[in-house]
Structure 1
Amino acid sequence: MSNSAFSRSLVAAYAAAAIACGGAAGTDSTVAVDETSTFGLVQSKVLANNCTNCHTSGSSFATESGLVLDPAVAYKNLVSVASHDATAQADGMLRVTPGNADRSLLYQKLILWDPNHPRNYGAPMPLGGESLSSGQIQFVKAWINAGAPQTGQVADAGLLQNLSKPVYSTFTPLAVPLNGYQVKVGPFDVAPRFERELFVRRDLRNPAPIYVSRFETKMRPNSHHLLLYTFTPNIPSVVMPAPDVIRDIRRPDGSMDFIAMLPMGYHTFVAGSMTPTGGYQFPQGIALELPANTTFDLNSHYVNTTGGSLTGEVFANLHTVDKSTVSKIAHTLFFNNESFTLPPKQITTVTKTFTMASTTTILMLTSHMHKHGQSFVVKIAGGPRNGEVVYQTTDWADPAIKIFDQPLVLQAGQGLTSVVTYNNTTSSAISFGLTSEDEMNIIYGYYY
């Protein structure tokens, strides 16, 4: 698996795993649709019913993902537009490649409901729902293969009358690794029209330190993400959760359970994925060391927009190697800025530089901020690449994870600068703190 397959956004508000980030913003969602054309039917019978509830101009989903599918702009945002999905880019795929549905990410996202799909293009769409009908999928495919024109009739509209669902392979659990450990959550129910996000502590019970060369994940459909954390050493005993007990952060009425969220203030990121299958392979000879008796806090998030219950289930494998095969031990990067104050009713940008004491090779970066955070940017500080942006995200709840196919090497005296923008809409000043009403400013990553 390419590291690029893991280098994509933990997309915003359950939609950023969509067709790809970027594209023009919409300005008018009320433009009349010409249903005499094939694309007009694609817009009204496929996109309007399944996509524009999220990807509409002005919505937080469109702002975060950058993809607007309103009638005024859908065509120019889709056809012959490059995808920002790393795997799709590697495959030479566009959002819509005229004449070739197989090389069009729009079509691929509609058939990713097949758990045996050979490529990892993120989550199937529409996320939180269910597969489109066979007729809708075939109609989109026929339009693309006919050249994806904006006008004219090039596909049989009768295809849309086929309301049957495609028959895909059944979900198969992730096999336990021959050398290593597996942690999982579920199966569990996800109530109709509900987002279920939960944590559960799993104790690895490893009697000695282990060396992880690869993380591998697998999830049932409609999972937004799976994240693995460890706890910082200073977590109070009264906050440390009991093992193997599911902690839902949303109550049945949708309100947040802040008590259940308290351990989040003592998390250290270890691994994660936002796609049905995912993972990360450390470069040859490099492994992440985990101490004896490692404890994980697994975070699973499912979205259900249907009228029936869904089943959630997530797996994570830790593939381990003998220490004798490890030439370099990877560590978890943790750069924390606690010295900032956000004035009330004001947008504030906080900048801090973290300097390396010795040559440091960075393999991965991600970030952590709370709900007032609007963007988190990381730049190189010093050296020939001074000021270069190497990481950015606009999603405080599910930040991007950036994997470097070519590791980022920083010499002593160089560093990373975090540039974090917050919007304090409250009437009180906000500073660093552990609750969701406070804020955070943390860079996580892997390095050696």
Structure 2
Amino acid sequence: MRTTTSSFLVLLGAAALFGCSSSDTPSEGEPGDVLLEPPAQGTGVQYRMVSTIEPAQEIERCQLFVAPPEGLNVNREEVRFSGGSHHVLLYATPYTEMPTETIRGKKLDPTQVHDCNDGPQAEWDVTGVIAGAQSSDGKSFLGGMPEGVALKVAPGTVLLMNTHYLNSSAEPLETDARINLHTIPDEEVTTEAGMLFHYNPFISVPAHGESSARMRCTTEHDISIVRIQSHMHRRGVGYVAHKVDAGGNMTELYAHDRWEDVPSQEFTPLLELKAGEALDYRCDFKNTEDRDIAQGLTTRDEMCMLIGPYFPRSQAYENCANEQNFFVPTWFGSGKSTCTEALSCMNSTPNGDDAALYGCVVDSCESVGPQLSEVITCQISGAYGACNEACSGQDAEACNTCIVTECAAEMEACETATCD
């Protein structure tokens, strides 16, 4: 049997962690009094990007900053940006000093605003999200945390700020995006927070058709969730998120029908998620175009995400991974294919046909979701690392043989799973 394609492995290794690199056509507006003044000295920092967008231009831009030498304990965040953008994001990177060239080898001054139109992760390494917003006057991702809880940024960390603007007017558009990180001293921090960034790679919407993408992430630790919000592109017509208890009972948490000016759901009291419980979310799509739409990082593609701050931090769960750092979601289709039929579909799909590949999972029936997900996870993880050596070289046959052998139990469960 064929294992997952190389493009799919790249997808799960990068986009699944940091997928929010692009957005759709935003609503326009003018800068106003809502833009932020910097925090008072000693209480935080402001990161700001200013640039000019030419008429009819759509562009992503980036700028790198260095966190203070004492680091940051972010307890609260505010984001404002002038109209014409759908999101502003602040990423953490692994860099401990300012890089002098991009991943692609392009030399530039990263402290200045520069184009990154293929998304920031095409130019720079990123390790997580610190702050951001999807509406110029709406709720930010982090918002405010309880007393003593903070998202920590290590001293000297290089931070990456990213904007995406569209100027549909006939005049140049002057843009201004600002992120305020409000901090607390080390001695006041009792608990480290993190940011959930759950990303579903299995999206496929047929031309002039409809579909759904649903994913579940189970936590291995007790956590408290402050707020959640969605992220979809312009074909998104519905979103719903549930809490799933250890017995499989689902409680609705958040539902809406908007892909822009996205609302957030704040939890008062905080949402408590115990070990063995899960977050389950679904995006509904309607495609009015003459082509199939697949998951991806550009405005021509779609996304389905759940984002939100929580504590105490579990770095693995932030990206729907387990403690061994393997990506382990459960995907649920909304079609009629059995687990075996879905795998056969994936194995027979030509390389490069992403919509068809992802559609194999979307078209599977709900009841085989756990078994299908376990087979896919076993394959893309190289049998949870057992086949790393066999798959490290150019011998595809040896790699496939190892994965088939090591994933035999998951395959057997898939073969007996039915849609009844």
Superposition TM-score tier, normalisation by shorter sequence: 0.5 to 0.7
- Using the TM superposition, give the Cα deviation of residue 281 of structure 1 relative to its aligned residue in structure 2, in angstroms: 2.2
Q: Contact 1:226 / 1:314 at 8 angstroms: preserved in 2? A: no
**Counterpart of 1:381?**
244
Decide whether the 8 Å contact of 2:232 with 2:302 is kept in 1: yes
Residue 410 (structure 1) aligns with: 273
- Which of residues 193, 199, 212 is equivalent to 2:61? 199
Which residue of the partner structure matches residue 253 of structure 2? Answer: 390
Give the residue type in structure 1 aligned to 2:193: A
Alignment of 1:326-365 (within 5 A): 326-365=189-228
Q: Is 1:262–1:435's contact at 8 Å kept on the other side of the alignment?
A: no
TM-score scaled by length of structure 1:
0.50
Once the two structures are TM-superposed, the CA of residue 270 in structure 1 deviates from its matched residue by 2.7
Does the alignment pair 1:312 with 2:175?
yes
> Deviation at 1:288?
0.7
Distance 1:438 1:303 in 2: 17
Post-superposition CA distance 1:218-250 (Å, at most 9, x none): 55x64656622315779x92299962343458x
Aligned to 1:166: none
SS in 1 for 2:193: strand
Scaled by the length of structure 2, what TM-score is found? Answer: 0.53
**How far has the Cα of 1:365 moved from its partner?**
1.4
In 1, Cα distance between equivalents of 2:125 and 2:300: 12
DSSP-derived class of the 1:388 partner: strand
Q: How many Å separate the matches in 2 of 1:130 and 1:209?
A: 31
Give the whole-Å Cα distance in 2 for the aligned partners of 1:432 and 1:352.
14
State the partner residue of 1:444: 307
For residues 436 and 302 of structure 1, the distance between their equivalents in structure 2, rounded to whole angstroms, comes to 12
What's the offset of the Cα at 1:357? 1.7
> CA shift at 1:184, angstroms?
0.8
Q: 1:419 offset after TM fit, Å?
A: 0.9
AA paired with 1:181? Answer: V
Gap runs ≥5 in structure 2 = 1-23, 96-101, 312-420
Equivalent in 128, 132, 138 of residue 29 of structure 2: 128
Could you tell me how far apart the structure 2 residues matched to 1:342 and 1:170 are? 38
CA distance in 1: counterparts of 2:71 and 2:260, whole angstroms: 31
**Matching residue's letter, 2:131:** A
Query: Can you list the C-alpha shifts for 1:365-384, whole angstroms capped at 9, x where unaligned?
Result: 12333444333321122279
Distance in 1 between residues matched to 2:241 and 2:138, nearest whole Å: 27
**Superposed CA offset, 1:285-326 (max 9, x none):** 111112343333334466878876564323222222222211
Contact 1:370 1:396 in 2 (8 A): yes
Counterpart Cα distance in 1 of 2:232 and 2:112 = 26
- Cα distance in 1 for residues equivalent to 2:36 and 2:197: 35
Q: Distance in 2 between matches of 1:342 and 1:266?
A: 29
Cα offsets for 1:158-184 (capped at 9, x unmatched):
xxxxxxxxxxx8988435542332211
* Distance in structure 2 (CA, Å) of the matches to 1:415 and 1:260: 30
In the alignment, the residues of structure 2 paired with residue 267 and residue 436 of structure 1 have an alpha-carbon distance, to the nearest angstrom, of 23
Deviation string for 1:98-153 (max 9, x for gaps)? Answer: xxxxxxxxxxxxxxxxxxxxxxxxxxxxx62699xxxxxxxxxxxxxxxxxxxxxx
Tell me the equivalent position of 1:272.
Answer: 132
How many corresponding residue pairs? 279
Inter-partner Cα distance in structure 2 for 1:342 and 1:374:
12
Distance 1:261 1:232, change over 3 A: closer
| Percent of aligned pairs sharing the same letter | 23
Give matches, 1:133-148, under 5 Å: none
Q: Give me the whole-angstrom Cα distance separating, in 2, the residues matched to 1:443 and 1:308.
A: 36
- Which position in structure 2 is the counterpart of 1:185? 49
Unaligned runs of 5+ in 1: 1-11, 16-126, 132-168, 250-256
* Paired position in structure 1 for 2:323: none
Q: For the Cα contact (< 8 Å) 2:29–2:83, is it kept in 1?
A: yes
The structure that has the greater radius of gyration is: 1
